[in-house]
Amino acid sequence: MIILNSTMDIIDDIANAGFTPRAYSGRYMYGKYCVGCVVEYRSQYDDLFDLIPGAMLDNFGLDFIVYWPTAEWTPGVQEYVDTISDSSGE
């Protein structure tokens, strides 16, 4: 399965900033999923936007969800995220 390098770069940048990448279907996405991550403070959104331009922001309960509508979340992306999130080293 092909994953765009830009999507992998976004995922790597999110993980390296200490956040967990996740699938998100934001406003006006009509059921499609993109790369996102949950942040607790608005200032964290600002930091992520400076690191990875093109982000959008929505309220997510008491937190915020930062998402990149152009970075499609596919099964290959999920597999990649599972791999980088696996602390067993396998």
For 43-67, write each residue's pLDDT tens digit. 899 889 888 989 999 988 889 999 9
Contact criterion met (CB below 8 Å) for 57 and 41: no
Question: Is residue 10 predicted with pLDDT exceeding 90?
Answer: yes
Residue 16's alpha-carbon distances to 30, 58, 66, 84, in angstroms, are 29, 22, 15, 10
pLDDT above 70 covers a percentage of the chain that reads: 91
Residue 18 sits at φ, ψ, to 5 deg, of 95, 15
What pLDDT does 90 receive? 54
Where in the chain are the domains?
5-82
DSSP state of 79: H
What is the tens place of the pLDDT at every residue in 62-81? 899 999 999 999 999 999 99
Tell me the DSSP string of 40-71.
Answer: SSHHHHHHHHHHSSS-EEEEETTEEEEEEEEE
